[in-house]
Each structure stands twice: as C-alpha cells, then as structure tokens.
DNA sequence: TCCTTACTTTCCAATGTGGAAAGTTATATC
DNA sequence: GATATAACTTTCCACATTGGAAAGTAAGGA
C-alpha cells in the first residue's frame, strides 16, 4: 500500500480549514481565523498556500460597509481533500475500535 | 470545536507507522521501514520520538541468528492514536461524500 | 580478531510554521 | 479631499521538523 498524504492539506490548520470549507459553499476569513485560533498573518499564509495549490478560491467583496474576504474550496480542492481523507481512512482501516 | 491533533502522531510517517502498529501486536523495524519507504536513520528517529512520548515500546531480540528490533504500541500509544483518529473523524464529519 | 548485520547518532541542508510588525487597500468619516 | 479604520498581506525573524549521508555502536559469526 502506498499511502500518499498531500502535504498541502495535511498540515493541521490547513486540514481543519479544508474540512470547514468542504462543509459549506463559502465562508469568510474572520470566521475561519477564529475557528483555527491563529493570527491573521498565519491564516493569510495558509490561504495563500492553498490558493497557490489551486485548492481554494478567494473572493474579496464588501458586504454591508466592510470589506471581507470569502473563501471557498475549488473543485480540485474538493477532489484533493476527498483523496486525502480517503487515504487517512485507508490508514485507519486496520486500527481496531475505530 | 477544539480540534487537537497530536503532533507526535500527526506527522505522515509516524501516523502510518502508528496505524500499522495498532493493527498488530508486534512488528519488526525492517518491515516498518519498507512500508514507510524511508532510510534507517529516519525510521530510527521516528521510533525514538514515539518511544520518548511513551507511545511505542522497543524490544531487541535475536530471532534465528540475526538481531532484530521489535516495535509495539504501548497502551498510552493506543489511547493517543485512538484520540487522534477520533479527532480526524470529527473533522471529516462535515465533509460530504466521505 | 575481523566481518557483517542492524540499527543509532551526528552532521547538515532544506522546509515549514508561527507571531509581530510594517505595509496595502478599500471604504467611512469629517 | 484628507485622514482614519478595518481587514487583510508581506516581511522579518526565530525555531522546530524532516530527511538522507556518513560515521558510530553492539551483538553474533566465521
């Protein structure tokens, strides 16, 4: 068995973020930041990493006065996450009581 | 939700290794090394990391002439892995088609 | 005693991660 | 129109992790 985990996704904060994004259509920067409990600079860099991998799409839009950044998983991002989670599940498969 | 992933377990090679160990009672160094496809030095260091965390037990025993190193998950190691996998599953929970 | 096997440790380079602080940019407010 | 503020983005820096090569070690054979 060749378990290939995508390093872009596997980092804890990005994994959590990708799972959050996968569950919704779009979510804003601030909400993700609070969920991950990291600084703005750190989230900004993770978003950039995912964006450069083509996994996340970023849209800036001013909603009711204040500008916000909206994040969403791209199609390739969803596929990559699906593959990643499948790999994780395959690894877990042999572990008892899971 | 507070998703805490254990960094000792989360590293890809150690995660795979822990899952392998969880599935059996004992397994030898060489077999794990082949499965992970890493150098001896690297596996040795991962084993040490897990051993120092109290997650893995190492037993050296000569079986049929050649000395071998046998690895097994300790009770705390099993618990930690179980917790880690539970966290991963909780993260995945909201992801569609998983 | 020397050799071989099976790791272990050391050395070193490359990457990744995180926060603080400075920098940007698009609205509000005056 | 100038300035302030919010919401990120970039840069700077420190530190930890990861990996392989090479040197080191320990146990058993020839």
CATH code where residue B19 lies: 1.10.10.10
The answer to whether position B43 is within a domain reads yes
- The CA–C1' separation of A11 and D13, in angstroms, is 22
Q: Is residue B70, in this structure, part of any structural domain at all?
A: yes
Sheet-wide strand order for A27-28: A27-28, A66-73, A56-63
Task: Report if residue B95 sits inside a domain.
Answer: no
Q: How many folded domains does chain B comprise?
A: 1
Tokens of A76: 């390739």
Contact between A40 and A33 under an 8 Å Cβ cutoff? The reply is yes
Model confidence over A2-25: pLDDT tens digits? 899 999 999 999 999 999 999 999
Segment B9-14 mean pLDDT: 98
Condensed to tens digits (0 to 9), the pLDDT of residues B64-93 reads 778 899 999 999 999 999 999 999 999 999
Nearest neighbour of A95 by CB, restricted to B1, B12, B23? B23
Percent of chain B clearing pLDDT 70 (strictly above): 100
Angle (nearest 5°) at CA A11 between A8 and A88: 85
Judge whether B88 lies within some domain. Answer: no
Rounded to the nearest 10°, the torsion over CA B15, B18, B22, B28 is: 140
Locate B79 and state its tokens.
């618990």
**Cβ A63 to strand D below 7 Å:** no
- Using the CA of B67, give the nucleotide whose C1' is nearest: C6
Domain range for B34 is 7-81
């Amino acid at each position: 068995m060749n378990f290939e985990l995508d390093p872009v996704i596997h980092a804890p904060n990005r994994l959590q973020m990708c799972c959050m994004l996968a569950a919704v259509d779009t979510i804003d920067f601030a909400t993700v930041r609070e969920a991950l409990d990291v600084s703005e600079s750190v989230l900004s860099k993770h978003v950039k990493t995912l964006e450069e991998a083509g996994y996340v799409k970023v849209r800036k839009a001013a909603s009711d006065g204040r500008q916000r950044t909206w994040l969403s998983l791209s199609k390739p991002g969803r596929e990559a996450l699906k593959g990643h989670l499948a790999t994780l599940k395959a690894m877990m498969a042999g572990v008892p009581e899971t």
